[in-house]
Amino acid sequence: MKGAIKRALEILGPRKLKSLCSVCGMSDALFDPLPDFYRKCSEQNGYVHFGKGEMTVLDTYACASCGASDRERLCAYWLRKEIDSGRLPATQKVIHFAPEKALAGFIRSSNAFADYQTADFVMDGVDHKVDLMNLPFADNSYDFFICSHVLEHVPDDLTAIQELCRITRPGGRGILMAPVITDLPGTIEDPSATSEIDRWRLFGQYDHVRLYAHDDYVNKIIEGGFVVHQLGEKEFGPRTFAQLGLKSTSILYIVIRQ
């Protein structure tokens, strides 16, 4: 039996298992595995960290109904709680970088924010075409941002984090996620790795430019000007993680500008 499914059954019991997609709201949700393309490319190119990420669960990766990935489901679960509690009021000015289709659809359909904007460097259909290292926004422009799995694509991630901090008002928050490998002693970077083969081998994807170790990632965010809160299974509970189809090591990184 696959790992995450076996773990869910152990926690919830076979008769009580109620999977949930927090993005589309589907109960008894079905989850599809990570496409085998990633495993095959990792094997072909000698990437040794496949399956060792804090997130990116292999067997329950995407909601079969809306396509939401595991990290989108964790983000949406937290967002629903913050919105319902009033800690993320409709008056918040929000920007979503590299907006994931399912998560962005959930935010728009919920009408949670009066001012919700999207941004990306190459993606069509966004409100702003931007370079994360040189954002065309004034200081303190936004109350909240979402930037998930973008920093691993950016040549200068510290400058990008500093830019995110600059445009966030004091006291404002953000979701700042990146692929992090458990037990990796240090972040792997090699500017000379420009070919797709080398990037697959070192970073696990052809368009990534680094592979983060946990402590280095957290320290980089702090260096960029934020306070970091790490929310994992301890905060959300094993039952919630099992229902959402998440790895037990998954962490939601919430950052705050002081």
pLDDT digits (tens, 9 = 90+) for 187-237: 999 999 999 999 999 999 999 999 999 999 999 999 999 999 999 999 999
Question: Minimal CA–CA distance to 144: which of 1, 255, 20?
Answer: 255
C-alpha 33: how far from chain center? 17
Contacts of 242 (CB under 8 A, 6+ apart): 7, 8, 11, 12, 17
pLDDT at 1: 46
| Domain edges within the chain | 3-257
Which CA distances in Å does 205 have to 148, 195, 214?
16, 11, 18
Reported as a single tens digit per residue, the pLDDT across 154-197 is 999 999 999 999 999 999 999 999 999 999 999 999 999 999 99
The share of the chain scoring above pLDDT 70, in percent, equals 93
Reported as a single tens digit per residue, the pLDDT across 20-36 is 999 999 999 999 999 99
Domain covering 3-257, topology: Rossmann fold (3.40.50)
Question: Minimal CA–CA distance to 45: which of 226, 223, 199?
Answer: 199
- Res. 8: pLDDT tops 60: no
Contacts of 87 (CB under 8 A, 6+ apart): none
Reported as a single tens digit per residue, the pLDDT across 41-51 is 999 999 999 99
pLDDT at 18: 82
Neighbours of 88 (CB within 10 A): 20
Span 72-96, mean pLDDT? 97
